[in-house]
Amino acid sequence: MTDNTRLSKTISLWLRHRPDAAGLVLDQQGWTDVDSLLSALVEAALPCDWQDLLRLVEESDKQRFELSPDTVRIRARQGHSVPVALDWPQASPPDLLYHGTVERFLPAILSDGLLPMGRHHVHLSPDLDTAVKVGARRGPPIVLRVQAADMVRAGHGFQLTSNNVWLTPHVPPAYLSIEGRPTP
């Protein structure tokens, strides 16, 4: 594992799930002080200076983190299991969104729909390529097509993060189909 990967995974763990493991305190919107994070990284034997952190935030292909406009605070953009009230705006999604998964989760998904599974929201991709990459993290990917416009017409809400991830609390099975094959 590269140092950047290890650094990114550690910061993700702390900012999404275990701020206490690093002695960090998140505010209601998930922000914590950059200086506190840098100190915690040094204590965890992952030395990182301001320039390293800035590079990680700016160059990350997944854009998991963001800095406040004054660059004093940092947060994970989405994916939290700890209580936070993210301030992402309600938005109208495109007609279709996508979700990458693997075969072993299909029976539960087709029965219950997409659930946040310990997070605050279900994460959806605006394009097929991103969904394939997300699904491939756990094995051969299966991509689900989400009828997002139909969900909106039925009263479901969506939020859009600054790194172009669509969030919703639940996707009922009626709005899902498997990309490239009919739903069983």
With a pLDDT cut of 70, the percent of the chain lying above it is 96
User: Do 173 and 117 reside in the same domain of the chain?
Assistant: yes
Starting at the earlier edge strand, list the strands of the sheet with 96-102: 96-102, 141-147, 176-178
Do residue 114 and residue 174 come from a single domain?
yes
- DSSP summary character for residue 60: -
Residues 102 and 143 in one domain: yes
Q: Hunting for tokens 């994970």 — which residue is that?
A: 76
Higher pLDDT: 122 or 81? It is 122
Residues 6+ apart with CB under 8 A from 154: none
109 domain residue, yes or no: yes
Helix intervals (H) in the chain: 3-12, 34-43, 50-59, 106-112, 128-135, 148-153
Q: CB-based contacts of 63: which residues, under 8 Å, 6+ apart?
A: 77, 162, 163
Judge whether residue 2 has pLDDT over 70.
Answer: no
Q: Is residue 90 part of a domain?
A: no
Looking at the DSSP assignment, which residues form a beta bridge with residue 122? Answer: 168
Write down the pTM of the prediction.
Answer: 0.67
Q: How far is CA 39 from CA 10, 20, 50, 80, 111, in A?
A: 13, 14, 11, 22, 45
Please tell me which residue, 69 or 21, carries the higher pLDDT value.
21
Are 125 and 164 members of one domain?
Answer: yes
Instruction: Answer yes or no: do 153 and 101 share one domain.
Output: yes
Same domain, 8 and 62: yes
> Is the predicted pLDDT of residue 3 greater than 90, yes or no?
no
pLDDT tens-digit readout, 18-67:
999 999 999 988 899 999 999 999 999 988 889 989 988 888 767 889 89
**Do residues 107 and 173 share a domain?**
yes
Return the minimum-mean-pLDDT range out of 12-26, 56-70, 87-101, 125-139. 56-70
Question: Which residue matches tokens 């899902």?
Answer: 176
Q: Are residues 133 and 161 in the same domain?
A: yes
Q: Is residue 64 part of a domain?
A: yes
List, in order, residues 6 or more apart from 138 with CB less than 8 Å away.
101, 102
Tally of domains within the chain: 2
The more confident residue out of 85 and 50 is 50
Contact criterion met (CB below 8 Å) for 79 and 116: no
pLDDT-wise least confident of 2-16, 88-102, 141-155, 164-178: 2-16
Average pLDDT over residues 73-86: 82
**pLDDT for the residue numbered 93:** 97
| Full domain range(s) for residue 31 | 3-76
Rounded to the nearest integer, the mean pLDDT of the chain is 89
Confirm whether 66 is domain-assigned: yes
